[in-house]
Structure 1
């Protein structure tokens, strides 16, 4: 076994999930993540934890959901209500077609202290031919399971696989190097650095992001952050952080005004989306455009009223991530980037008793701020052209 796989497992168990002896840990392992799954199981055994393993297969999920579509289509044909048109017809799948309270799955997570999800499937678009309405209905029906899972000390990571390398446009060995550069960090040192950004945001009232480029539309957007608490997302549940790798500081903005151009390509609902332009007034998206994938963007923004408002402002600070890979797990953490997410706000950023922006979606969009840009907090420049004010080379 590559020694880096063992190191990845140790970081996941010890730094990220903070597993202790006697903890009940659920581990979900994707199809091609077996090697990391084995390493994680060994480390958990050495730490004295109890382990339950799940098979996290997108191909199995696709088979199940396509089976539900076929059943609903058949039932519609039998009772004469329609021709079985899954997408938008009388036979569209909804949450009632699934068990509203999948007690077995929920019980597993209710009994768990920690949940470790190890991604790395065979096909990054395995569920691309499952209707969007079906996937949404399934997610809605499993809300109770999701809430039980989120109540654990959960962490999500990925094993470098050939399918992910292909998605990133890299050779397999090159992609392995990329992943381990992002994961095998001095997380304590990075947490200390990111704490500087957290303190600035916690003390601030308004953030302004500006980009001025000859080859792209300008960004000039303001948002309030007063009363919010920023999260130092240092890849550990001890920091309210649940992704490995991580390396961002994020908060929950509101009262957004202005316009922003997102120049980093992304995949939304299995659709390539590129060069997104959003215009905000009174906290809400009032106009939008995209060079590619505009229909997918529209579907997101039309999900519910909260989908047109921001739920997150995130500042990437992991410079072990040095290129875009079409994976939000990595891309939003990349140094010299800022991302905004429309939709749901995270509770960790909100005052006790405040719900923040509510939505069924949370979709991140990223802009490169490595050049011709600045970020201000209460009128003071805290980052210019990707360099923070505490770093060498910063120009006020």
Structure 2
């Protein structure tokens, strides 16, 4: 076994979820994530945690969803019970075909998401964490040789997370103290309110209210969004290629949308429910271990030269206690490249220009 697989498992168990003896752990494993799952299971055994492993296959889900009549009410109650009893949920992605569910009808996806809302909330109440094992399908999607992709993935995952958390705290402080964010570049001029929100320093650990590995972003829950944004980073959403998404916002809501490719899947997302037309997240990528786009949202949205916005559900960690943010059955991230001819403002002050933050070498105010 590649020693980096064991290091990945150690980060998941020790840093990301801080698993202790007696914790009840649900381990969701993709078809090609076997090696990492074995390494995690070994760590859990050493720790004295209780393990229940489940199989997460996109091909299996495709078969189920395409054969179903679309009436999913009550179908997730057994999974809900599982998560209600869990302390930790670890999801290890590793699919054989990243586009396996591309031909599942949009209305079926919508119905399934809505029926699973309570199950998702129960999962979010645990110390949950999502990661991926570097696979050949992800390497192919990224246009990279498998060995090259492994090096790329581990450069992003095996970081000095404590040091990165300290750096990202600068951006967190700016957002926590700010009232308005403006994003400007060719095709984009967007403003949003952030006052009254708490930014999350997403350093790949539940201690920081962070639930992805790799991570390396600071995010908050914006509102009162106005203007236009162009998402120019290629994406795969629900197994379909999506390119050059343009959204126009008025009074916090998407009033028009278009895409040069994949507009149908975008429409399906926005029509899921009322909250799907509002923003749930503004995220600012800060992981310099990610140096190229790979058509994987888990990596691309953390890249230091990007920002991303998610339509749909807002995370409770960003909201005042007792306040309910934007609610939706979806949370779909889309990315814009900020490396050239662009800037990010907080209350009129430029804090990032052309991908460089104001505390980094090369920043031009």
Please tell me the TM-score bracket, short chain as reference.
over 0.9
Q: Is 1:94 the counterpart of 2:59 in the alignment?
A: no
1:101: Cα distance to partner? 5.2
Q: Is 1:379 the counterpart of 2:348 in the alignment?
A: yes
- 1:144-223 → structure 2 map (5 Å cutoff): 144-212=118-186, 217=187, 219-223=188-192
Name the residue aligned to 1:60. 60
> In 1, Cα distance between the equivalents of 2:356 and 2:280?
25
| TM-score, normalised with respect to structure 2 | 0.96
* RMSD (Å), alpha carbons: 1.5
Name the residue aligned to 1:45. 45
1:232: Cα distance to partner? 0.5
Distance 1:46 1:167, change over 3 A: same
Give SS of 2:259's match: strand
Q: Is the 8 A contact 1:332 1:339 kept in 2?
A: yes
Name the residue aligned to 1:75. none
> In 1, Cα distance between the equivalents of 2:213 and 2:192?
28
Give SS of 2:295's match: coil
Distance 1:305 1:142, change over 3 A: closer
Q: Is 1:227 the counterpart of 2:227 in the alignment?
A: no
> In 2, Cα distance between the equivalents of 1:223 and 1:380?
14
Deviation digits for residues 220-243 of structure 1, max 9, x if unmatched?
111110100000110000000011
> In 2, Cα distance between the equivalents of 1:344 and 1:379?
27
Give SS of 1:190's match: helix
Give SS of 1:8's match: helix
> In 2, Cα distance between the equivalents of 1:193 and 1:258?
30
Name the residue aligned to 1:34. 34
Question: Which among 259, 271, 282 is matched to residue 290 of structure 1?
Answer: 259
Comparing 346-355 and 269-278, the one that deviates more: 269-278
Unpaired runs of 5+ residues, structure 1, are: 73-92
Name the residue aligned to 1:361. 330
Higher Rg: 1
Q: Is the 8 A contact 1:258 1:279 kept in 2?
A: yes
Deviation digits for residues 201-237 of structure 1, max 9, x if unmatched?
000000111114xxxx3x1111110100000110000
1:245: Cα distance to partner? 0.4
Q: Is the 8 A contact 2:98 2:239 kept in 1?
A: no
| TM-score, normalised with respect to structure 1 | 0.89
1:138: Cα distance to partner? 2.5
1:167: Cα distance to partner? 1.1
Distance 1:292 1:66, change over 3 A: closer
**How many residues in Structure 1 have an aligned counterpart in Structure 2?**
365
Q: Which runs of 4+ in 1 moved over 6 A?
A: none
> In 1, Cα distance between the equivalents of 2:219 and 2:58?
29
> In 1, Cα distance between the equivalents of 2:76 and 2:237?
28
1:54: Cα distance to partner? 1.2
Q: Is the 8 A contact 2:99 2:240 kept in 1?
A: no
Deviation digits for residues 118-171 of structure 1, max 9, x if unmatched?
110111122223222223323322333222222110101110111111111111
1:110: Cα distance to partner? 1.8
> In 2, Cα distance between the equivalents of 1:305 and 1:45?
44
Deviation digits for residues 291-343 of structure 1, max 9, x if unmatched?
22222222222222222221111000011111111111111111110111112
Q: Is 1:111 the counterpart of 2:85 in the alignment?
A: yes
> In 1, Cα distance between the equivalents of 2:228 and 2:65?
38
Q: Is the 8 A contact 1:94 1:133 kept in 2?
A: no
> In 2, Cα distance between the equivalents of 1:302 and 1:52?
36
> In 1, Cα distance between the equivalents of 2:174 and 2:63?
48
